[in-house]
Copies of this chain bind each other. A is one copy, B any other.
Amino acid sequence: MDFTVRPIGRVESPLMSTADAPRQGDEGAPDANLILDSEVQAGLHGMGVGDEIILLTWLHQADRSILSVHPRGDLTRPEQGVFTTRASSRPNPIGLHRVQILGMDGVRLRVSGLEAIDGTPIVDIKPVLGAIDER
Contacts and interface: CB of A to CB of B under 8 A. Distances in A.
Number of copies: 2
Of the four ranges (under 10, 10 to 19, 20 to 34, 35 or more), the interface on chain A belongs to: 35 or more
A81 interface: yes
Contacts of A56: 92, 94, 96
A68 B86 contact: no
Contacts of A1: 7, 121
Q: Classify the secondary structure of A's interface with B.
A: mixed
B124 A80 contact: no
Interface of A: 1-8, 23-24, 26-27, 40, 42-47, 51, 53-54, 56, 58, 60, 67-68, 71-72, 79-86, 90-92, 94, 96, 121, 123-127, 129, 132, 135
